[in-house]
Amino acid sequence: MTSPAVRNVVATIAGIVVAVTVVFVIEGIGHALFPPPPGLDLAAAEDRERLMELIPTGAKVAVVAGWFLGALAGACTAIAASRRVLMAWIVGLAIALAGVWTTQMFPHPDWMLASAAVLPLVAVLVAKRLMAGRIVAA
């Protein structure tokens, strides 16, 4: 890619795709390890309201880990492809916004809401350190 603008857009999209894929994989592993209780119907409002009371802490931690690890993998991908940190921040912000949006679909504990907002941004800082040798000055 010769155009830096095109490279940056592709890097950002690739980072988001990688991030979302990692989030889905980790959440899927969490769901496999900690399946929802039998008889739970997520189409029913009252069951959605009780969901966080019924699922084990491990299931919640898997979701939060997915947000962090997905943002980390996506940010590293964006930096590797663009050689710029800005694209990683866009990926981290996208995952943070998606996580916060998810927590609004049905009640989540406050610590999960805070994790959704903060951990993807922390993941970008970690990615920046991990990928420091790939970053070029603006």
Euclidean distance between CA atoms 38 and 33, whole angstroms: 14
Residue for token digits 């663009």?
82
Per-residue pLDDT of the chain (138 residues; tens, 9 = 90+): 579 999 999 999 999 999 999 999 999 999 999 988 887 777 777 877 788 888 889 999 999 999 999 999 999 999 999 999 999 999 999 999 999 999 998 889 999 999 999 999 999 999 999 999 999 876
Contact of 80 with 130, CB cutoff 8 Å: no
The pLDDT value given to residue 138: 63
